[in-house]
Amino acid sequence: MNNLIDILELSTEEIDKLIEVAQDIMAHPDNYYEKCKNKKLATLFFEPSTRTRLSFETAMLDLGGKVIGFSDSNSSSASKGESVADTVRVVGCYADIIAMRHPKEGAPLVASMHAGIPVINAGDGGHNHPTQTLADLLTIKNEKGRLNNLTVGFCGDLKFGRTVHSLINAMSRYEGIKFVLISPDELKLPSYVKNETLREKGIPFEETKDLAAAMPQLDILYMTRVQKERFFNEEDYIRLKDSYILNPEKLVNAREDLTIMHPLPRVNEISVAVDDDPRAAYFKQVKNGKFIRMALIMKLLGIE
């Protein structure tokens, strides 16, 4: 079965191809408007979302397909105690492909074993978010013209930020990548990512609390929200939530060709005054997300 649970299931060649198709869709959208005629996407969102769900749904609609699903697990039979396995087995009788977001790490993997149709992980707990990574890679390719030889700074909640984990895994496969991991001690990148990806592959990285000191060397600055919903107590969240706030003053020492990214939603970590800076690419990421999801849906459904 064609699923996308972890970004590493796609080879770099497959990612290049998805980027190429997404760029072609952007340039010639009319060539694609009937590609998924008579196909149905089910979006099963057991956790809040704006961009990811709506971009999946718009992607399918722009391919001429249809969409079913739920955006609140309280309105699904999960609230009656139905298992993920049973829910997707049922949905597999109605739809051709599933995009699923779930607070439990591994839930989309379980779903992929029972659905009988392709399953896409649209975010599982603090673990992974492969389609945000595809949007991020397309953005980096468009902004920088390459995916190699880049110094990438990740700033904020590197512990619970699933978009960070997936993007680090994906970028670790390109030549000349260096990571600068900027976070408070409590929100450092999990050891399993450092050991199994960075140390295992010998990728250079440094950990620091100091965004200002890291700034001048960065080609990309990937800001993240402190993931409130993953905290066990509110006091810790309140203490850490405003650890980093990017504003125009903090960009004084940044490179002219820096690319500022953020998977969104933003809370306080990027001041709105940065939005007009030509280096801000976070709303471009949103746009790119729809096109690369169109390319992905076609690939997983075996449509040329």
Q: Could you say whether residue 263 binds ligand NCD (CB under 6 A)? A: yes
Cβ nearer to ligand NCD, comparing 163 with 288: 163
Residue positions annotated with a catalytic role: 51-52, 80, 101, 129
Q: Could you say whether residue 43 binds ligand NCD (CB under 6 A)? A: no
**Structural contact between residues 224 and 166, judged by C-beta atoms closer than 8 angstroms:** no
Cβ nearer to ligand NCD, comparing 112 with 131: 131
User: Please, what is the minimum distance in Å from the beta carbon of residue 84 to ligand NCD?
Assistant: 18
State which amino acid sits at residue 150: L
Question: Segment 146-165, which members bind ligand NCD (CB under 6 A)?
Answer: 162-163
User: Please, what is the minimum distance in Å from the beta carbon of residue 93 to ligand NCD?
Assistant: 28
Cβ nearer to ligand NCD, comparing 77 with 268: 268
Cβ nearer to ligand NCD, comparing 52 with 288: 52
Total residues binding ligand NCD (CB under 6 A): 11
Q: Could you say whether residue 230 binds ligand NCD (CB under 6 A)? A: no
Among 25, 95, 264, 270, indicate the residue that binds ligand NCD (CB under 6 A): 264
User: Please, what is the minimum distance in Å from the beta carbon of residue 132 to ligand NCD?
Assistant: 5
Chain centroid to Cα 49, Å, comes to 12
Among 225, 241, 290, 293, indicate the residue that binds ligand NCD (CB under 6 A): 225
HEC letters along the chain: CCCECCHHHCCHHHHHHHHHHHHHHHHCHHHHCCCCCCCEEEEEECCCCCHHHHHHHHHHHHCCCEEEEECCHHHCHHHHCCCHHHHHHHHCCCCCEEEEEECCCCHHHHHHHHCCCCEEEEEECCCECHHHHHHHHHHHHHHHCCCCCEEEEEECCCCCCHHHHHHHHHHCCCCCEEEEEECCHHHCCCHHHHHHHHHHHCCCEEEECCHHHHHHHCCEEEECCCCHHHCCCHHHHHHHCCCCCECHHHHCCCCCCCEEECCCCCCCCECHHHCCCCCECHHHHHHHHHHHHHHHHHHHCCCC
Among 3, 43, 52, 112, indicate the residue that binds ligand NCD (CB under 6 A): 52
Among 92, 108, 123, 130, indicate the residue that binds ligand NCD (CB under 6 A): 123
CB count within 10 Å of CB 111 equals 27
Tokens linked to 219: 């080609």
Q: Select from 185-193, 201-209, 211-219, 257-265 the region that touches ligand NCD (CB under 6 A).
A: 257-265
Q: Select from 24-32, 232-240, 241-249, 258-266 the region that touches ligand NCD (CB under 6 A).
A: 258-266
Q: Select from 22-30, 176-184, 205-213, 263-271 the region that touches ligand NCD (CB under 6 A).
A: 263-271
Residues that bind ligand NCD (CB under 6 A): 51-52, 123, 129, 132, 162-163, 225, 263-265
